[in-house]
A and B are shown apart, each in its own frame.
Chain A
Amino acid sequence: MKRGSGSKAGRERRAASAVRVMCIAARCLAGLSLGAAALPKAAAPAALAAAIRSYGLLPAALANPAAIVLPWVELACAAALLAGRRYRAAGALTACALFASFALAALAARAGPGAQPCGCFGPAYSLQAGSAQHLAVNLVLGAAALLAYACAAGRVTAVRPTQSG
């Protein structure tokens, strides 16, 4: 049986597999993180509203609406990234926007007085707002969401070379 065109085809297949694995890993990382962050936040909206208020980035009147809606936006993104195909790119793009906002909030908290829990994964697991770890987590997850978007929107493809024989 003859496959592809020798070593070039093999390299292309390996590259395609690597891209596919990266896309799936990025999608799972972003989706699972959002899902894990959303559930405890949805369970304690008052605590989330307090956390949002403590950042001081939104007008106080918007803290409660944001606390009510944010966990569900995160859940919708997680579902779109992990389970959906049609809405995968939309979920990934929204996740990019979320992580970018969170990174900006981390930067703002870094400039502030600090010593506040970030509220990222609900009150149970909270990094210190504005810490290097807080910023790094959001940047890494934002990069994963961006890669997931590029894959889902067809900007990065993992097409296997055509096989002959």
Chain B
Amino acid sequence: MNSWIHPGAILILGALLLPLFKGRARQGYLLLLPALAFMAVLGSAEGQHGIFNFLGQKIVFGRVDKLSIIFGYIFSIAAFAGMLFGINVKEDGHQIAALVYAGSAMGAVFAGDYLSLFIFWEFMAFASMFLILYRGTKKAYDAATRYILIHIFGGVCLMAGIFLQYSTTHSFAFNHVEVGGAAAVLILIGFILNAAVPPLGAWLADAYPEATVSGAVFMSAFTTKSAVYALIRGFAGADVLVWLGVIMAVYGVVYAVLENDIRRLLAYHIISQVGYMVAAVGIGTEMAINGATAHAFAHIIYKGLLFMGAGSVLYVTGKSKLTELGGLYRTMPLTFVLYMVGGFAISSVPLFSGFVSKSIVVSAAAESHLSYAWLFLTLASAGTFLHTGLKLPYFTFMGENKGIAAKEPPLNMLLGMAFAAFLCIFIGIYPDFLYRMLPYAIDYRPYSAEHIVWTSQILFFTGLAFYIYIKKLGGEETISIDTDWFYRKGSLLFMDFARKVVLKVDERISNAYKGEILEPSKRVAANCWRFDISFIDGIVNGTANLFAELSTVFRRLQTGQVQHYAIIIVTGVIVLINLLLFFR
């Protein structure tokens, strides 16, 4: 019991020792930490660990049950895959930020009370901010600033909710929250902001594409999925989440149609995929919670893989726009194939991981007879395949050969992708591996003839529609405005408007001021000025001249003998006192 080691602490504290390692040892150490964190999860016994008393409150760092364990597993796997992919990043600060970020996400998952949850929640935001900053561009700097500000806003909402809740319950225990009441709403806002639920989710598509190549891989895993975890803990069965989730799922694919930047397109698909999880949390049945968890698990791996693929393209070519890419399968065949594994997994092609996880969510909607939710989630499913499985790879790797000089990325990046791709296929072929870890017992067989035929029809006919509309689907050199418009442009327009109105008012006031106050005071000032020149300046200049002359005298008195200095000081003091009395 006492021997429980916090898996997140391994990453966070371990990261701080990173500067001690160099070369090969550093690489080994970077991979060792996530592996050790995984072992720590593996060795965690269910129950409560790491309990402290803080100001009379029980702080629980280790709530270990089936739900936190499966998130612990996937977070340590994601940290390992991301580290393998990004091990060639030289800056220690970047690697430390990535590890602290992953460790904090695990801290949030194992937190049994709101206080420790909140601490890790904020650590996540600040650590991940550095993964954007390390990109080193002006755009990244601006995006990171917006990113941290919006997360601070979310954090403040969460904190306000926590303390408001405490004022009625006198407890910081983090358990199921009944919707209704300001406290619950504030906590919910804090959670859904991190889950990127619109209209609070624009930060995701704004920030992730500006992050570093490996930073975006990390970011795609932790923030939204730890929020899904928090929603499962706090708000399972909250009806509002069904609709928010469905809106997210559709919203993500609609924006993806318009997107030109490949990593931003993938970012919109994170929002869409997290929509399935949020909707499942809202449905709240055991099957739905299993679905949300399983889909989070599968999603972290394939989305990491997709970001690795798109990141590799950016890393090698320096380009990330569909309009600038094309024909890369010739020079980057391995990257292409590995990306496609992720593309098939997210599109829930049979034998890939998404097929065995997303279908639980969709089936849970069917079992709860939520027909509209079912229809929209299925529609979003078609949209997912359309973009991540067809449009993005077609216009990046196939399509028009733009003759871009490219080669495969470094070995460690390929290995990171291969590791993630292996898991996508392994889970797809052997779903019981995933199902056994789920929080509730599950009796679900994804590979029924009916389900396979049903899915292939959706996929094939999406492909057919893609083929028909292919000319309309190429990238366009545009960006799309999202709800971040309100703080990126709206505030400026507001300022502009305010400036114009304020300017008018200001002008009136200053005109009146000019006529009635300024002119008379100018005349007074002119008189004062004359007085100043002739009288005050006379005194000042006279004094200055006096001191200038005195100083030439005193300069000659520099004898180096202490008693002389003493006399000079005493004389000086007397002169000063006299001057003061004279000018008083």
Query: Are A and B associated in one complex?
Result: no
Binding site for A on B (CB under 8 A): none
Residues of A near any B CB (own CB < 8 A): none
